[in-house]
Amino acid sequence: MSNVWFPKWVKFTKFLRGCETLRMEKSGEAVKVEICKILNKIGALQFGAFKLTSGKISPYYIDLRIIPSFPEVFRKVCNLYVNFIKKEVGVENFERTAGIPVAGIPFACLIAYNLKKPFLYIRKGVHLHGRQRRIEGVLTPGDRVLLIDDLITTGLSLRKAAKAIVAEGGVVSDVVVLLDREEGGSKQLEKSGIKLHAMLKISEIANKLCEIGAINEEQLKTILKQVKKG
């Protein structure tokens, strides 16, 4: 009897796993739609000519720095970060979190609090007073540090931050961002042995915003053209 039921049980188990995978995919898709609606609501996406931190000129700009100015939105986005980190990185795989100046610091601070992890932040340069360190916070040799930023373009700021942490004895293997502008940042991090975890890609945001009528076809093409150039 057991031999008769075994194949059916295997099929049923596979069916349940398939349902769970589908549920998670739908959940991930729902999160992406929610983020797009949030960004549209607060007017985070602008078109024009903008000079980025990397020095590149972009025909569009996503201003995620304004998110903390909307408390409810800030709380919701940080909760999305936390859930994403638990799923994609695993809280057991790092001891500390670090915010990248300047935009990544407010996100990293609240995320660290919610994850009950020690918080660090990286200065843009070494100060000539006090302890004269680039890393603010307690960092001991061998600590695994999760880097958190709002977005990534070329990855230059994140690579510099990782080098600063490594120089003080820390270990960096993962970076989490809300948005990947898809302009080569992921590949640059790979060269340093760092894995990028991005909740959304700019191409996904652009397509979804176009679907809901938040941007037009020409604006969609503008963003996708910039992605190809990157």
Backbone region of residue 100 per phi and psi (left: phi > 0; alpha: psi in -120 to 50; beta: other values) = beta
**Residue range 47-66: mean pLDDT, rounded:** 90
Structure confidence by residue, pLDDT tens digits, 66-120: 999 999 999 999 999 999 999 999 999 999 999 999 999 999 999 999 999 999 9
**Residue range 126-155: mean pLDDT, rounded:** 85
Average pLDDT over the chain, rounded to an integer: 87
Q: How many CB atoms lie within 10 A of CB 2?
A: 6
Report how far apart, in Å, the C-alpha atoms of 181 and of each of 26, 64, 86 are.
Answer: 23, 12, 23
pTM, to two decimals: 0.84
Considering only CA atoms, which of 185, 177, 227 is closest in space to residue 207?
227
Say which residue the tokens 């969609």 belong to. 220
**Residue range 221-226: mean pLDDT, rounded:** 94
Q: pLDDT band for position 19 (50/70/90)? A: very low
Given a cut of 60, is residue 187 above it in pLDDT? yes
Given a cut of 90, is residue 197 above it in pLDDT? yes
- How many Å apart are CA 67 and CA 70, to the nearest integer? 6
Q: Which domains does the chain carry?
A: 2-229 (3.40.50.2020)
Give me the percent of the chain exceeding a pLDDT of 90. 73
| 211 Cβ contact list (under 8 Å, min separation 6) | none
pLDDT on residue 9: 45
Report how far apart, in Å, the C-alpha atoms of 83 and of each of 6, 78, 115, 119, 131 are.
Answer: 36, 9, 10, 18, 35
Given a cut of 70, is residue 4 above it in pLDDT? no
pLDDT on residue 68: 97
